[in-house]
Amino acid sequence: MFIKEKQKFRELKTQEIKNLEKEKEKFKDNLSILEGMKYKDNDILDLDIGGTHKITTTRATLTKVS
């Protein structure tokens, strides 16, 4: 009986390790996506329109083509 329980535990452990590896890969993929979305300091622009109107925007917004 102890041998069966030990084998069952090993199988569960192996499956959990596989699940964790999958989650780790998903995390890496998501991190790569987020890194690509991060703005650099020179991508954030402050615009002074007409003296009293000031707008902060990103370079991506200004160069987006619809």
pLDDT of residue 17: 97
Domain count, the chain: 1
The tally of CA atoms less than 13 A away on the side-chain side of residue 47 is: 10
What is the b/e burial string over 34-55, where b = at least 16 CB atoms within 10 angstroms of the residue's CB?
A: eeeeeeeeeeeeeeeeeeeeee
Boundaries of domain holding 41: 2-63
Instruction: Summarize pLDDT for 9-64 with one digit per residue, the tens.
Output: 999 999 999 999 999 999 999 999 888 777 676 788 999 988 788 999 988 888 88
Q: Which amino acid is at 29?
A: D
